[in-house]
Amino acid sequence: MKNNIAFAIITTFSLAACQALAQSGEEMPLEALPPGLELSDSEVPFDGQLDSGPLTPDVIPAPTNELSPFSTSGSSTEDDAIAPFVPGANMREYGCEPALLESTGTWLRRGFWYAQADMVILNRTWERKGLLLATDATLLQGAPGLNGIRAGNDLNIDGNKPGADGTFRLTLGRFLFRDEANRDHTTEFSWWGDGHWNQEARVAAGQNATAGLQVSNFIDRLNTSFDGASDMRFVYESHMDSFEWNYHVKQRMSRDRMEMQPSGQWVRKAHNSVTYSYLAGLRFINHREALDWTANDIPAGGGLTEDGKYFVTTDNNLLGTQVGGTAAIERDRWSLEVLGKIGGYWNAMDTNSLFNVGAVASNQANGEEDTLSTVGEARLIGRWHLRPNLSIRAGIELLWIDSIALAPQQLNFIQSANLPIAESGDSVYMGTSFGLESYW
């Protein structure tokens, strides 16, 4: 029943509303119409334009991807919203194409790790004058004006020999962080060594030798020695290894520069720079030597002869700190760097010596002492960048080790078990290097 009553009410109101819509009425005055609907006074029929002003042909602008000269990068218009994305469009400024990239300093020294591998060819010098071991007492006779002139050979350890020998140097580094001044902070470990410098010589007394070979008085100190031997020979070996850890702070190249070409195109290039770096760290150097000196047919009295042997070893273990720095001229494809390091070291020295002159004289001694030593290093290195992360390198090397025990300077024929260590020696290494450098 309730549903029938509700339906009747709704039907009644609907019929009343339809009748009201169909009723006729007076026309609305023109001044009551809004300006856009004053159609009766218009001289042209309605064509969809709602403006009351005169109609003029309009040109619809074509869509463009160019930004306004005064717009900021990243702004957009309605046309941009439907335009396809063009790579690099957000980099354009002043309606120009982005600058061409020719080179950049950000390409170089990029990576968390880096490694350097060099082959270093070094010549070792330890004493400019060398050390005279023995002389030949052969005298010239029979020639007028030449009687009594010694004409024999000397047995001498040359301070400028044995010449060059190859060594290897490996460096492994780790990038830590980059500071506000655009400097890279790294830590690195280096090994440099596997160098073996050897020299040997032999001399025999001449047929006219009056007393055979005579040991230098500086060595035998008038003690029983190898005097009178018919021949002598020595073999001298020297070895060096270096291990170091450094904390390194390196400047990077300056901000890239922009150059305009004659065509009006901007080009981005690496900025030629002079950079500096500083380092500090720990270093351990092991310098060890061995000298083997033999003599044959030493007179022992009664027409008998003896053989003699003198063997000396020295071991220098240097541990200390060092500081250094570099200055480099850097270009987009190459660089030239000067490096210098110096440090003070605690040198723990150990020597052992053994000699015998047949059954006539013999002695065995060893010694341990400590001293302070100095180590300096200089390097000139040029690099050519094959790729941003791979370079070939070549340079000139110099290494100087001071206040160390050298085997030739321990020679003496004093019969004592406790002998002082001669610690005034030095070794100078100079040569060239060739290698590779890589970042990853």
pLDDT band, very low/low/confident/very high, at 251 (cuts 50, 70, 90)? very high
Output the pLDDT for position 71.
44
86 is a domain residue: no
Output the pLDDT for position 36.
46
CA distance 228 to 358: 13
Output phi, psi for 312, to 5 deg. Answer: -130, 140
- Cα–Cα distances (Å) from 168 to 69, 171, 433, 435, in that order, read 60, 10, 9, 10
Selected residue with higher pLDDT from 66 and 379: 379
Pairing of strands 273-301, 231-251: antiparallel
Selected residue with higher pLDDT from 51 and 436: 436
**Which range in 13-17, 88-92, 256-260 is most confidently predicted, on average pLDDT?**
256-260
Output the pLDDT for position 247.
98
275 is a domain residue: yes
Q: Determine the residue type at 249.
A: V
Selected residue with higher pLDDT from 110 and 20: 110
Q: Is the pLDDT of residue 354 over 80?
A: yes
pLDDT band, very low/low/confident/very high, at 42 (cuts 50, 70, 90)? very low
Query: pLDDT > 70: what percent of the chain?
Result: 73
Question: Given the structure tokens 């039907």, which residue do they identify?
Answer: 11
Output the pLDDT for position 359.
79
Output the pLDDT for position 143.
55
We report the CATH number of the domain holding residue 117 as 2.40.128
Q: Is the pLDDT of residue 377 over 90?
A: yes
Q: Is the pLDDT of residue 208 over 70?
A: no
Q: Provide the whole-model pTM.
A: 0.73
Question: Given the structure tokens 């723990």, which residue do they identify?
Answer: 348
Rg (CA), the chain: 47
Pairing of strands 100-101, 266-269: parallel
97 is a domain residue: no
Q: Is the pLDDT of residue 179 over 60?
A: yes
Q: Is the pLDDT of residue 34 over 50?
A: no
Q: Is the pLDDT of residue 75 over 60?
A: no
CA distance 291 to 199: 10
Instruction: List the beta bridge partners of residue 258.
Output: 268
Burial group, residue 349, by CB count within 10 angstroms (0-12, 13-18, 19+) = buried
Output the pLDDT for position 373.
97
CA distance 237 to 199: 7
**E strand or H helix at 7, and its extent?**
helix 2-22
Structure confidence by residue, pLDDT tens digits, 108-151: 888 999 999 999 999 999 888 889 999 886 655 555 555 555 55
Q: Is the dihedral of CA 99, 105, 109, 112 positive or negative?
A: negative
35 is a domain residue: no
pLDDT band, very low/low/confident/very high, at 40 (cuts 50, 70, 90)? very low
CA distance 226 to 357: 7
CA distance 384 to 333: 6
363 is a domain residue: yes
pLDDT band, very low/low/confident/very high, at 176 (cuts 50, 70, 90)? very high
Q: Determine the residue type at 310.
A: Y
Structure confidence by residue, pLDDT tens digits, 405-437: 999 999 999 888 888 999 999 999 999 999 999
**E strand or H helix at 285, and its extent?**
strand 273-301
Report the pLDDT averaged over residues 244-256.
95
pLDDT band, very low/low/confident/very high, at 72 (cuts 50, 70, 90)? very low
Range of the domain at 339: 105-439
Q: Is the pLDDT of residue 227 over 60?
A: yes
Output the pLDDT for position 393.
98
Q: What secondary structure does DSSP assign to 156-179, as a single string?
A: EE-TT-S-EEEEEEEEEEEEEEE-
192 is a domain residue: yes
**Which range in 109-113, 177-181, 299-303, 319-323 is most confidently predicted, on average pLDDT?**
319-323
Selected residue with higher pLDDT from 334 and 60: 334
Output the pLDDT for position 367.
92
305 is a domain residue: yes
Report the pLDDT averaged over residues 249-274.
91
- Backbone angle region of 2, left / alpha / beta, with phi > 0 → left and psi within -120 to 50 → alpha: alpha
Q: Is the pLDDT of residue 330 over 60?
A: yes
Give the CA count within 13 Å in the CB-facing half-sphere of 236. 26
Least confident piece of the model among 63-77, 95-109, 131-145, 172-186: 63-77
What total of structural domains would you count in the chain?
A: 1
For 197-278, where are the alpha helices, taking DSSP H only? 217-220
- Cα–Cα distances (Å) from 325 to 35, 254, 334, 336, 414, in that order, read 85, 19, 19, 14, 47
Q: What is the mean pLDDT of the chain?
A: 82
Output the pLDDT for position 23.
44
Q: Is the pLDDT of residue 368 over 80?
A: yes
Q: Determine the residue type at 392.
A: I
CA distance 381 to 235: 35
178 is a domain residue: yes
